[in-house]
Chains A and B, each alone.
Chain A
Amino acid sequence: MAQYTLTVNGQARSVEADPTMPLLWVLRDLLELTGTKYSCGIGQCGTCTVHLNGSPIRSCSFPVSAAAGQPITTIEGLSAHGDHPVQAAWQEGDVPQCGYCQAGQIMSATALLATTPHPTDDEIDAGMSGNICRCGTYQRIKAAIHLAAAKGGAK
């Protein structure tokens, strides 16, 4: 066990954890930020995606010891009032079915738009194919990303 200070959504948070504990479980069980979800646990489905230094990572496979001292953004911290253009586009497009994968989808989409503000369909496919949606809402996700891009989603 070791002590770590994490910067999560702009706040310094202190946790005592096994150095190998994936960031996912630190967020969910120790900090009770449950917006980030567990699904495969091996970095294959994208459901647990968060931003570390602004880049998307799979928190299920990223040890807490490697995350300390760097800014972490989760779905809860993406915007102050849930009004990030990507979140707004997801609402406008009524994207979710079960909704369980959508936090990861949104974190991947915001990261994509940060580097590619106006992506083509192929660029969206390339940027988002690491995220599985078992309900099959891909068409709506793609449309929402285009909508967010049109509204300046790269912020």
Chain B
Amino acid sequence: MSPATTTLDRRSFLKLSTAVGGGLLIGFRWGQAAPPSNAAAFQPNAFLSIAPSGKVTLLNQNPEIGQGIKTAFPMIIGEELDVAWKDVIIEQAPLDTDQYERQVAGGSGAIRSTYPTLREAGASARALLVTAAAKKWGVKAADCTTANSTVTHTPTGKTLTYGELATAAAKLPLPDSVRLKDSSQFTLLGTRVRGTDVPKIVTGQQRYGIDTKMPGMLYGAITNPPEHGQKLGKVNDSAALRVPGVVKIVSWPDKVAVLATNTYAAFQGQAALQIEWKSPRIRESSARLSAAFADAIKNGAGDTKRKVGNVERALQNAERVIEATYEVPFLPHAPMEPINMYADVKADSAYLLGPMQTPANARRDAARILGLPEDKITTEMTRIGGGFGRRLKTDFVEDAVHASKLAGAPVNIVWKREEDMINGGFRPAGLYHYRAGIDAKGQLTAWHLQSASVTSRGAVVPNNFPNGAVPNFQVDIHHVRTDVSTGAWRSPNHNVCAYLDQSFLEEVGHALGKEPLAFRLELLRQAETAPFGKVDYAPARMRGVLEAAAKMANWGQPPAGRFQGISSHFSHHSYVAQVAEVSVTDGRIKVHKVYCAVDCGQVINLSSAENQCEGGVVDGIGCAWFGDMPIVDGASAHTNFNSYRLIRMNEAPEVETQFLDTGYPPTGLGEPALPPASAAAANAIFAATGVRIRNLPFVHTDLKT
């Protein structure tokens, strides 16, 4: 990346275009800093302040959910500011859509979209500090350098700290342009930095939303329908109201909240409720859905999401046609911190505090419910105990708002684990039918995927590899309606499609007698040099991670008794390839190790980046291995961790990660390491056993043969 100079307009609310990050239009609210608490403090923008004492405060605008943003965002500001990292204080900013853009935890898009803005925030502040020092000394700014929160006049060696310069810098006008660093000049980005909140986490001092305690606050246990599609009927709360500690019981469409002086009393009251639920005409079941999926694929019209060439003709002309049907189940999100939210609704205002992935949506929905303008609602984010997509929804925020309004008191609502396992909204279940055509020369000439799923968008990734490498390529979707609620689940669509595409591709390669890595590289060469249709990924970058993962794993020469599987996937603008080392003994799977090669452009925090990859691999393999949520007689078959199985330490593989230095700006990393992991493991299981697992989870397939 070359150094970039950006021109800054001093007027606030100006959108400016920048050369950084591929010429994206970046909104930057200059001059709209929060009112200074200390008039002498230097607060050039909403991202940082420097006090005369030398205290540097960097603000994190986005929700922290474990992705490490509360450390990564300040690192980006701090890099351009040349700040002494050990003295930095990091604070969580509230929701403020005038000051900040995209205050969202989701879509692995935060770093990619906000990187230029944060760099400019740091660089412009640094420029003012240098100007202040140069003025004071009567020297040229060009002769000054910065490091460790200090400006140095290089010819004389004179120094002034940022704290000493803060008051003078605060009086200067913003610069017309700032020069950003070349990535070769980075001293902070790409290094390992410990998570901001880790000292508080390991001592029990870190507050999550569920830990909120406020004067006069009631604890609220939320009851949702026990079966999918049910509506609330009569509520008999007389027994519940007799539970000591229960204060009030309120309800609104399809919800009941028991409000009490402590959580246990609220749960006891909840258990004592007698509720009549009105069931839908058809009680949903996974068996009905599976049959409906198969029928839709066989008889439905479908909706074509991608079409290159003529698949039907190519299949008719093919020497061989390879077919396979895959099925994936619903999956709950199951974040460790149960669903909770605090709301304090007053007549003309409201205060929201809690674990939201989309705080702006939360405020919007609260305003709608209360009939208040959004500016009457103050919204603050707590550190979030995991989400995996669950807290992109605002259903629980609505619960807190309704409960507080109806109770006339501040309320912290909580969903028992069981409530979320039933009603949290699942990763969509689906059935996927593949056909591949092979011509007389042994070339892959046709690729046809038909999906049937419970979402109207089809739960497919229609433009991914091997698209571009096959002359006739088509993806059709079929939509089957259900009462089961679904939602975005970490790496939506990709989490399924990487498994499917990378497994079926391996089936095709096996049928052709091709070595798995060589087959992929051959197809990528086609997509790179003579693509069929539009290619939305960069084949060379995909090849780069595949070759790196293969090298890391010593591909083709696994340790004795272990078998290898390879997989790669492009998502959230990043490329990941993995090699899994697996053994299968008496039908029992052991995933020993996963090698993970990543091209996500510039790495921000190496420790956190590695952690995301380690966790993504464990999550991807764990959920493919054990994750299942059958629907039986309208209800979720699993309601807690006694029967819903999550991967545990004794099952988790060791993960070794390598980031490729490709010089690109940073792209997503919270999600991209997850999708390829399940297929790498499944391909290794095939290498070990000859069994191709086409129905998830793995545990449903008997490998004792």
Residues of A within 8 A of B (CB): 1, 18, 21-22, 25, 28-30, 32-42, 44-45, 47, 74-76, 78-79, 82, 87, 90-91, 94-103, 106, 124-126, 128-142
Chain B residue nearest in CB terms to A124:
B649
Known A91-B194, A91-B202, A139-B654; judge A98-B648 contact (CB<8 A): no
CB-contact partner of A90 in B198, B265, B641, under 8 A = B198
Inter-chain contact A94/B195, CB cutoff 8 Å: yes
B210 contacts the other chain (Cβ, under 8 Å)? yes
Known A91-B194, A97-B615, A99-B385; judge A136-B622 contact (CB<8 A): yes
Inter-chain contact B264/A25, CB cutoff 8 Å: yes
Q: How far is the CB of A81 from chain B (nearest CB, A)?
A: 9
Mask: chain B, 418-457; 1 = CB below 8 Å from A; 0 = not: 0000000000000000000000000000000000000000
Chain B residue nearest in CB terms to A141:
B649
List A contacts of B616 (CB < 8 A).
136
Inter-chain contact B336/A101, CB cutoff 8 Å: yes
Mask: chain B, 232-275; 1 = CB below 8 Å from A; 0 = not: 00000000000011000000000000000011110010000000
Inter-chain contact B206/A99, CB cutoff 8 Å: yes
Q: How far is the CB of A96 from chain B (nearest CB, A)?
A: 5
CB-contact partner of B67 in A1, A39, A97, A142, under 8 A = A97
B334 contacts the other chain (Cβ, under 8 Å)? yes
* CA gap between A15 and B386 in the complex, in Å: 32
Inter-chain contact A129/B650, CB cutoff 8 Å: yes
List B contacts of A35 (CB < 8 A).
203-205
Inter-chain contact A94/B194, CB cutoff 8 Å: yes
Mask: chain B, 642-672; 1 = CB below 8 Å from A; 0 = not: 1000111110101100000000000000000
* CA gap between A25 and B263 in the complex, in Å: 7
Most chain B CB within 10 A, of A1, A102, A134, is at A134
List A contacts of B334 (CB < 8 A).
134
List A contacts of B635 (CB < 8 A).
none
Inter-chain contact A39/B649, CB cutoff 8 Å: no
Q: How far is the CB of B166 from chain A (nearest CB, A)?
A: 30
* CA gap between A28 and B416 in the complex, in Å: 15
Inter-chain contact A29/B386, CB cutoff 8 Å: no
Chain A residue nearest in CB terms to B65:
A98
Inter-chain contact A18/B336, CB cutoff 8 Å: no
Inter-chain contact A129/B262, CB cutoff 8 Å: no
Known A74-B204, A96-B198; judge A135-B648 contact (CB<8 A): no
Residues of B within 8 A of A (CB): 65-68, 192, 194-195, 197-199, 201-208, 210-211, 213, 219, 244-245, 262-265, 268, 334-338, 383-386, 388, 414, 416-417, 607-608, 611-612, 614-619, 622, 640-642, 646-650, 652, 654-655
Closest 3 CB pairs of A and B: A35-B204, A100-B385, A136-B618
List B contacts of A125 (CB < 8 A).
649-650
* CA gap between A90 and B202 in the complex, in Å: 7
Chain A residue nearest in CB terms to B385:
A100
List B contacts of A124 (CB < 8 A).
649
List A contacts of B611 (CB < 8 A).
94, 97, 137, 140
* CA gap between A136 and B614 in the complex, in Å: 7
Chain B residue nearest in CB terms to A29:
B262
Inter-chain contact A38/B67, CB cutoff 8 Å: no
Chain B residue nearest in CB terms to A89:
B202
* CA gap between A37 and B336 in the complex, in Å: 9
List A contacts of B208 (CB < 8 A).
37, 100
List B contacts of A78 (CB < 8 A).
203-204
* CA gap between A90 and B197 in the complex, in Å: 12
Inter-chain contact A134/B386, CB cutoff 8 Å: yes
- Return 26 A-B CB contacts under 8 Å, by A number: A29-B219, A34-B210, A37-B336, A39-B336, A40-B640, A75-B202, A75-B203, A75-B204, A82-B202, A91-B202, A98-B65, A98-B385, A99-B66, A100-B208, A100-B385, A101-B385, A129-B649, A130-B648, A131-B648, A133-B336, A134-B334, A134-B386, A134-B388, A135-B66, A138-B648, A142-B649
Inter-chain contact A138/B336, CB cutoff 8 Å: no
Interface of A is mostly: loop
Chain B residue nearest in CB terms to A79:
B203
List A contacts of B336 (CB < 8 A).
37, 39, 45, 47, 98, 100-101, 132-135
* CA gap between A13 and B245 in the complex, in Å: 20
List B contacts of A133 (CB < 8 A).
336, 649
Known A32-B213, A37-B210; judge A138-B618 contact (CB<8 A): yes
* CA gap between A106 and B65 in the complex, in Å: 20
* CA gap between A130 and B650 in the complex, in Å: 10
CB-contact partner of B641 in A34, A40, A94, under 8 A = A40
List A contacts of B265 (CB < 8 A).
18
Q: How far is the CB of B54 from chain A (nearest CB, A)?
A: 25
Inter-chain contact B615/A136, CB cutoff 8 Å: yes
* CA gap between A141 and B652 in the complex, in Å: 12
* CA gap between A82 and B199 in the complex, in Å: 8
Known A22-B264, A139-B652; judge A94-B192 contact (CB<8 A): yes
Inter-chain contact B203/A18, CB cutoff 8 Å: no
* CA gap between A42 and B68 in the complex, in Å: 30
CB-contact partner of B264 in A29, A97, A103, A131, under 8 A = A29
CB-contact partner of A137 in B263, B335, B417, B614, under 8 A = B614
Chain A residue nearest in CB terms to B212:
A34
19 new A-B pairs (CB below 8 Å) besides A34-B204, A98-B66, A134-B336? A38-B210, A45-B336, A75-B203, A94-B192, A96-B198, A96-B201, A99-B195, A99-B206, A100-B386, A125-B649, A129-B648, A129-B649, A131-B649, A132-B641, A133-B649, A136-B618, A136-B619, A139-B618, A139-B655
Inter-chain contact B416/A87, CB cutoff 8 Å: no
Most chain B CB within 10 A, of A74, A95, A96, is at A96
* CA gap between A122 and B74 in the complex, in Å: 39
Inter-chain contact A99/B197, CB cutoff 8 Å: yes
List A contacts of B67 (CB < 8 A).
97
CB-contact partner of B335 in A1, A82, A90, A134, under 8 A = A134
Chain B residue nearest in CB terms to A77:
B204
